[in-house]
Chains A and B, each alone.
Chain A
Amino acid sequence: MKKITAPLNEKAIADLKAGDRVLINGTLIVARDAAHKRGLNVELKDQVLFYAGPTPGRGGKLVGSIGPTTSSRMDPFTIPLLEKGLKGMIGKGGRSREIRDAIRKHKAVYFVATGGAAALLGKTVKHAEVIAYPELGPEAVLKLEVLDFPAVVAYDIYGGDVFER
């Protein structure tokens, strides 16, 4: 199990191969359908996007359970974000060939996490804040600080694809 830090740097990305299990530490940006449709106007250079929308937490906490949603729904919006310097995405399931190739071309990496393991993944969230579109409620853009968030490398920069093994 590799430990990596987000935002990602070139060296960390070069070390990742499809099928690797990783524990992610640091910052994740949470966004899903509605925020993508609005252009996702937040700083994304070197950042990792997590396609998700949480349940509310106990005692006024912003995040209770949180897990990945289907990534391919975000495919039509992804290339402009890669062009802005996005380096990682976390979701579930495969993506279109076009997006897989674009991720590789931009030397970015795509991770999958376990759908429906949202209580477990929610436990890795140490801090959360809304950074854009608060009016979207469960689809608002959040910044999370996570500790040992488990994921699997799905697409690496060498053309590796965990779904084609």
Chain B
Amino acid sequence: MREITTAKITEALARLCEEAACDLPAEVEEALNRALAEETSELGREILREIINNAEIARKDRLPLCQDTGSAIVFVELGQEVQITGGQLSEAINEGISRGFSKLRKSIVADPFLRTNTNDNTPAIIHTDIVPGDKIKLGLLLKGGGGENASSLKMFLPGASEDEVVDFVVKLVVEAGARACPPLVVGVGIGGTFDYAPLLAKKALRRRAGHLNSAHHIAQLEKKMLKRINETGVGPMGLGGKVTALAVHIETYPCHIASLPVAVNLECHAHRYKETIL
């Protein structure tokens, strides 16, 4: 067994909070620059220029890209040969988020109805997978409220055509309009169960923006969805244009003979995901 202390986990997450909030991933910035070259709407081009300038200011001045520094979604891939010492894993994670958010916006309320702010952005949403090996991989997604509010799940039946699934995703993007802050990264989870499809959609956002699924037929579906989304004319910040999404990522999983769950998790252009291995 390899020992990893909770202090290391806390420290790593605190650091990831700042990096995720201030440093736009390089592949997102590249996708935005390609979008600027493709966009023909003058207003759309101006919005894209602002978004690209914003990323430069955020990186240089260590300012959050977006004021909505989001819910902290923590993905833990815990190697089964790791022994965690020095305390509880969930407490260590929340301590890391609490410290990491000292200069970020605290957006979490303790109760959905009473709505008192927890003042440190905890608790994090934690997804843990036990994996082979003696390492821990920590992934942190700072997920804004706009894209989450515009996300959805539909339980299709197995008779549904691929086009019906594509239509569902495209319609959702159009209805979301500017609320989800396009150009988007669209996470799609297909298969699993009522609870698992949305997790697949969220996990799909971890992939480097624009990298295709390794299964050929799913990669083709990603390309088809992206093309259809960019034909809607929603455009940057919903003001019209060619570029509504930067990427579509689909993750799939086996499902029941009676089911075809499809979940869509919309992510804004300020796509804030960072990971580290301990």
Contact = CB atoms under 8 A, between A and B. Distances in A.
B89 interface: no
10 smallest beta-carbon distances between A and B, as pairs: A93-B178, A116-B270, A119-B63, A115-B181, A119-B58, A117-B54, A120-B54, A118-B67, A65-B64, A116-B66
Contact of A137 (B50, B61, B117): B117
Interface in A112-144: 112, 114-120, 122-123, 136-139
Given A55-B67, A114-B50, 16 more contacts: A55-B64, A56-B104, A56-B105, A70-B149, A94-B177, A114-B237, A115-B66, A115-B146, A116-B65, A116-B181, A116-B269, A117-B54, A118-B63, A118-B65, A120-B54, A120-B57
A150 B51 CA distance: 12
A69 interface: yes
A138 B269 CA distance: 22
Interface in B250-275: 268-270
B64 A58 contact: no
Interface string B225-246: 0000000000001111000000
Interface string B3-31: 00000000000000000000000000000
Interface of B: 43, 46-47, 50-51, 53-54, 57-58, 61-69, 103-107, 115, 117, 119, 144-146, 149, 177-179, 181, 237-240, 268-270
A25 interface: no
A160 interface: no
Interface residues of A, number: 38
16 contacts: A21-B43, A55-B67, A58-B62, A64-B103, A72-B179, A115-B178, A115-B181, A115-B237, A116-B181, A117-B53, A118-B63, A137-B117, A152-B43, A152-B239, A162-B43, A163-B238
